[in-house]
Amino acid sequence: MENLSEINDEITCSFDKGVIRVDNDKALKELILKGGKKAVLELARSLKDRYENLFGSSIGIKDRSLACEIYYHHRMNERYKMSQEKHGPKRFSAWMLRHMRVIDCGELKKDNNRLIWDFVSLFFR
């Protein structure tokens, strides 16, 4: 894991060939609260630049698709947290929260949801 200091000192991410991972934590929440979708799009571009510097090639994910996946994973995480606070812990929401702690964004061959994010990103403004 390494910090992405160009965007926010606290955003933590990691990289593997074909995959970018972002911690879905307080720092990401603050970034989204302060800058909204525009800040997430800037984050996505910086992540892709960092990936290219590390691996010497670009990752096969469009900027908006990556931003969309990060943004909506964060939003869903927040919704599940609110649901647990209101209704108490439920097995499904606890499972979802565990699986959304780190947002895994991969190329099509590594991420079976890439086509979904590519489609949803068409409406990400």
Q: Do the domain assignments include residue 119?
A: yes
CA atoms within 13 A on the CB side of 14: 7
Q: Do the domain assignments include residue 27?
A: yes
pTM greater than 0.75: yes
Query: Is the confidence at residue 77, as pLDDT, over 50?
Result: yes
Instruction: Give per-residue pLDDT as tens, 83-118.
Output: 777 777 766 666 666 667 899 999 999 999 999 999
Q: Do the domain assignments include residue 40?
A: yes
How confident is residue 8, by pLDDT bands cut at 50, 70 and 90? low
Instruction: Give per-residue pLDDT as tens, 11-63.
Output: 999 999 999 999 999 999 999 999 999 999 999 999 999 999 999 999 999 99
Q: Do the domain assignments include residue 56?
A: yes
